[in-house]
Amino acid sequence: MCGIVGYIGREPAAPYLIEGLTRLEYRGYDSAGVAVLNSKGKTTRVRTAGRVRALESALPARLSGTVGIGHTRWATHGPAEERNAHPHASVSGRINVVHNGIIDNAANLRSALSDAGVELSSDTDTEAVAHLIAQSTADSLEEAVLDTLAKVSGTYALAVTDEAHPDRIVVARSGSPLIIGVGDEEMFLASDVAALVRHTNRVVHLEDGELATITSSGFRTFDRSRNDTDRSPIEISVAAEDLELSGYEHYMLKEMREQPAAAQDCMRGRLDERFATARLDGLELDARELRGFDRVKILGCGSAYYVGQIGAQMIEDLARIPADAEAASEFRYRRPIIEPRTLYVAVSQSGETADTAFAVNEIRRKGGRVIGLVNAVGSTIAREVDGGIYLHAGPEIAVASTKALTNMGISFALLALHLGRLHDLSFADGQRIIRGLQRVPEQIQEILDQESEFEQIVTDLAKARSAFYIGRVRGFPVAREGAQKLKEISYIHAEAYQTSELKHGPLALIEPSMPTVAIIPQDDLTDRNVAAAEQVLARRGPLVAITHASVDLGNLPVSTIVVPQNEPELDPILLTIPTQILAYRTAIALGHDVDKPRNLAKSVTVE
C-alpha cells in the first residue's frame, strides 16, 4: 500500500520522482505529491487528489532542486483529498515527510499537538510525525527522527527532508518495505524496486528497526541505538522492460498472456524425472526434517489464501498428511498454538503483505518452522522465512493477481509432490504428476486461445448486480478465487459457496437476474455437481459451467467453458484461468480500470 520514492544527486529531482511514482502507482492511487528542495534550501511541495498524471500536470514549469521525495497514496486516514496527500509538512514547511504504514497512536499524538497549539491541516497520522520532528531540539536531522520514533508506535517506512539539512534524506523502516538504490554520485529511494530499475541494479533493503542517511555520495545505515549496521548493496535482476506494457492494453491482459511462459519458468530445473519428485533446494530442509512434520499450515491473504486452500488439498492428496489454509490476517490474533511438528507456509506475491509478514514473525517468535512462497527476491517475507520456493513469475503490476497466482498453484504442486515422495507416494504416481505438470503451460495457452468464445457469457454477466460461484472440494477454492476476481475489478457483488451448501440457504436467492458460475470438473463428484446445476436451472437461474469436455451436461441450458483435463490434483490450476478471463472481460465491458480497481492496491503493507 502506498508508494514512496526519493532522489538526491546532481540532476533535477522532479522527473525521477514522477517516473518512480508512475511505476509505483499500482501500490496506491487516490492522491500523490512531491516535495523538492532547491539549492537555496527552500522546499516546493505539490500535492493533488487523484492519479500521478494529475500531479504531473500540476507541477510548476520549472521545478529546480536535486533533492526530493514523493508519494502515491492508498488512504488509511482521511478521504482522498489534497490536504491528506503526502508529503506532509511541519507548520513552517521546513520538515517534509512521506510515510507508508499506520501510526497506531496517531490520535494521541495529534491531540497532544493540538493542545500545544499546533494547527493540524489534515486527517492523517503522518502529519503528526512531521510536527514532532520539527519540534525536536536535536542538532541533527537523524537525532530529530530518532526522538520522534521514540514517541511513535505502529508500522512505518519514512523518508524525511529538512531545509536546515538540504544535503540529505533520512529514512526509517519498521514493518513496511524501504529500499535504497545506489547510483554514481546519486542515490535513489523507493518502497519497491520497480521505481529503481531504470537507474540502478544495486540496492539495499533496509531491515526492520533500521534507519539510513542518504546523500548524493553514499549512504549510512544504523539502528535505533545509533550503531552502524554496515549494509552492502546487492544486485537485482529485474529489467526495466519487464515492467512495460509491451503493446498490451492492460497489465492484467499482459500478465494473463504471460502465464504459459511463467509456468515453465516456475518448473524449470525443479522436475526430477529420474526419482519422480521435485527438487526444491531453496526449502533449506533435508529429507529427515521434512519427514518429521505431521501437518502443514498455509497462511495467505486474499487470492494467496484461496490458492493456499488448493495447495492444502494437493498436499493431503499426494503426501497424505493433514494440511489446511488459514487467512494470515486472522492468524496471530487468535493466539495460535505453534506446533514444532507443523510446517508453516507463508504465501505472498509481493513478499511484503503485512498480515502475512506478521504471521511469519509470530511463528518464528514461538519457535516454529516456516517457509515462503513469494515472487520477490529480497522481500521482507523472503528474508524472514527459513527457506522457500520462489515463484519466478516475473514482475506483476495489475492489482488482480494472475500469473503469480498460477505459479503459486504450481509451486504447491511441487511441494506436495516433494512431500509425497518422502512419504508414501508411489514412483508411478510421482511420474504421473510430473507428466501432468509438464502439460500445464500448453493447456493454459489452450484456455487463453478460447478468450473470444467468452463474449456472450461476459455480455450476460455484465448485466448482473450479483453472482454466485460454486464448487466442491477441489473446486471450492477455485470458486472463491473466481468470485474474488469478479468483485475486485468489475465491482459486481460475487459470493462463493460450496456447491453442497446451496440448498442450505443460498438457493433462496436464485432467480433469473442472479447468474451462477459452477466449477464442474470430471471427478468422483461430477454427478452431484451436475445435480446441483439442475437445481439452479429449475429456479430459472442462469448458469455458466467451467468444466471438462468429458462431463455430460445433456441438454441443460448451460453456457459452458471447456477446460483441458489434467490430473485431478492439478485440475484446479487450470480451472482458475477462465475465472481470470471472465473477470477481466466483464470489467472491460463495464468500462472499468482493470489494473487499478477502486479502493484496492497491489501490495497490502498495512493492517
- Cell numbers 471447456 correspond to 562
The pLDDT assigned to 387 comes to 96
The pLDDT assigned to 28 comes to 73
7-33 pLDDT, tens digit per residue, is 999 999 999 999 999 988 877 778 999
392-406 pLDDT, tens digit per residue, is 999 899 999 999 999
Looking at the DSSP assignment, which residues form a beta bridge with residue 213?
Answer: 170, 220
561-603 pLDDT, tens digit per residue, is 999 999 999 999 999 999 999 999 999 999 999 998 988 877 6
The pLDDT assigned to 605 comes to 64
Query: Rounded to whole angstroms, what are the CA distances from 140 to 6, 137, 504?
Result: 20, 9, 66
Residue 266, C-beta contacts closer than 8 angstroms, at least 6 positions apart:
391, 392, 393, 407, 410, 411, 414
Closest CA to 221 of 171, 153, 161, 157: 171
Residue 400, C-beta contacts closer than 8 angstroms, at least 6 positions apart:
252, 303, 485, 488, 489, 580, 583, 584, 594, 597
Written as nine digits, the cell of 258 is 504471460
Q: Is 420 left (phi over 0), alpha (psi -120 to 50) or beta?
A: alpha
Domains and CATH numbers, the chain: 3-243 (3.60.20.10), 251-448 (3.40.50.10490), 451-589 (3.40.50.10490)
Q: What are phi and psi of 526, to 5 degrees?
A: -60, -45
Using CA atoms, how far apart are residues 599 and 273, in angstroms rounded to an integer? 46
Q: Supply the mean pLDDT for the chain.
A: 94
517-567 pLDDT, tens digit per residue, is 999 999 999 999 999 999 999 999 999 999 999 999 988 899 999 999 999
Is the Cβ–Cβ distance between 192 and 179 less than 8 Å?
A: yes
Written as nine digits, the cell of 66 is 536535486
Assess whether pLDDT exceeds 70 at residue 289. Answer: yes
Verify whether residue 463 is a known catalytic residue: no
Using CA atoms, how far apart are residues 286 and 59, in angstroms rounded to an integer? 56
Query: Rounded to whole angstroms, what are the CA distances from 11 to 8, 27, 132, 159, 160?
Result: 8, 26, 31, 19, 19
Region 316-331: mean pLDDT is: 97
Kindly state the helix (H) or strand (E) to which residue 328 belongs, with its residue range: helix 328-331
Closest CA to 492 of 516, 462, 450, 529: 462
Q: Select which of 297, 487, 596, 602 is catalytic.
A: 602
The pLDDT assigned to 308 comes to 98
Query: Rounded to whole angstroms, what are the CA distances from 351 to 57, 163, 346?
Result: 33, 35, 9
DSSP string, 337-390: PPPTTEEEEEEESSS--HHHHHHHHHHHHTT-EEEEEESSTT-HHHHHSSEEEE
| Burial zone of 568 (CB within 10 Å; 0-12 exposed, 13-18 middle, 19+ buried) | middle
| Burial zone of 418 (CB within 10 Å; 0-12 exposed, 13-18 middle, 19+ buried) | buried
40-55 pLDDT, tens digit per residue, is 889 999 999 988 999 9
Looking at the DSSP assignment, which residues form a beta bridge with residue 171?
Answer: 159, 212
DSSP single-letter state for residue 206: P
87: preceding bond cis by omega (within 30 degrees): yes
Which amino acid, one-letter code, is at 95? Answer: I
- C-beta atoms surrounding 271 within 10 Å: 17
The pLDDT assigned to 607 comes to 65
Using CA atoms, how far apart are residues 229 and 232, in angstroms rounded to an integer? 9
The pLDDT assigned to 431 comes to 98
Kindly state the helix (H) or strand (E) to which residue 55 belongs, with its residue range: helix 52-58
| Angle 519-522-523 from CA coordinates, rounded to 5° | 100
- Cell numbers 509538512 correspond to 89
Q: Select which of 2, 301, 403, 596 is catalytic.
A: 2
Which amino acid, one-letter code, is at 403? Answer: K
Q: Residue 1: pLDDT band by 50, 70, 90 thresholds?
A: low
Kindly state the helix (H) or strand (E) to which residue 560 belongs, with its residue range: strand 559-562
Q: What is the largest CA-CA distance in the chain?
A: 81
Which amino acid, one-letter code, is at 211? Answer: L
Q: What are phi and psi of 24, to 5 degrees?
A: -100, 5
Assess whether pLDDT exceeds 90 at residue 75. Answer: no
Written as nine digits, the cell of 353 is 503483505
Using CA atoms, how far apart are residues 254 and 264, in angstroms rounded to an integer? 16
* Alpha-carbon torsion (469, 472, 475, 476), positive or negative: positive
Is the Cβ–Cβ distance between 602 and 27 less than 8 Å?
A: yes
3-state secondary structure 383-452: HHCCEEEECCCCCCCCCCCCHHHHHHHHHHHHHHHHHHHHCCCCHHHHHHHHHHHHHHHHHHHHHHCCHH
Assess whether pLDDT exceeds 80 at residue 74. Answer: no
pTM to 2 decimal places: 0.88
Using CA atoms, how far apart are residues 20 and 146, in angstroms rounded to an integer? 27
Q: 332-336, 337-341, 424-428 — which is least confidently predicted?
A: 332-336
Region 331-358: mean pLDDT is: 93
Assess whether pLDDT exceeds 70 at residue 83. Answer: yes
The pLDDT assigned to 606 comes to 65
Using CA atoms, how far apart are residues 109 and 37, in angstroms rounded to an integer? 27
Assess whether pLDDT exceeds 80 at residue 247. Answer: yes
Is the Cβ–Cβ distance between 247 and 383 less than 8 Å?
A: no
212-245 pLDDT, tens digit per residue, is 999 999 999 999 999 999 999 998 877 777 788 8
The pLDDT assigned to 133 comes to 97
The pLDDT assigned to 549 comes to 95
149-177 pLDDT, tens digit per residue, is 999 999 899 999 999 999 999 999 998 88
Region 246-273: mean pLDDT is: 96
Assess whether pLDDT exceeds 70 at residue 334. Answer: yes
Written as nine digits, the cell of 109 is 499524538
Verify whether residue 301 is a known catalytic residue: no
Is the Cβ–Cβ distance between 293 and 342 less than 8 Å?
A: yes
Assess whether pLDDT exceeds 80 at residue 350. Answer: yes
Helices marked H in 88-140: 106-115, 126-135
